[in-house]
Homo-oligomer: A and B are copies of this chain.
Amino acid sequence: MKNAMDLLIDKIKEKNNPTVMGLDPRYDMLPECIKLKYGKDVKSVCEGILEYNKALIDATFDIIPAVKPQIAFYEMFGIEGMKCFKETCKYAKEKGLIVIADIKRGDIGTTAAGYSNAYLGKTLVGNVEESFYDIDWVTVNPYLGIDGVKPFIEDCKKYNKGIFVLVKTSNKSSGELQDLKLEDGKKVYEKVAELVNSWGEELIGEYGYSQVASVVGATYPVQIKELREIMPHSYFLIPGYGAQGGKADDIALGFKDGIGGIVNASRSLMCAYKSDRWKDKYKDEEYAKATREEAIRMRDELNLSINK
Contacts and interface: CB of A to CB of B under 8 A. Distances in A.
A277 B125 CA distance: 28
B195 A75 contact: no
Given A45-B125, A83-B79, A106-B106, A174 B145 contact: yes
A169 interface: yes
Interface stretch (A36-44, A204-212, A249-257, A296-304): A36-44
Contacts of A115: 72, 75-76
A291 to B, nearest CB: 19
A89 B104 CA distance: 23
A188 interface: yes
Interface in A119-139: 119, 123-128, 130, 132-133
Contacts of A81: 118
Interface in A280-305: none
Contacts of A24: 110-111
Interface in A139-189: 141-148, 166, 169-178, 180-183, 185, 188
26 contacts: A24-B110, A40-B126, A40-B128, A72-B107, A72-B111, A72-B114, A75-B115, A76-B114, A76-B117, A77-B118, A77-B125, A78-B86, A79-B132, A104-B107, A108-B169, A108-B174, A142-B143, A143-B166, A144-B177, A145-B176, A145-B177, A147-B173, A147-B174, A148-B171, A177-B195, A180-B191
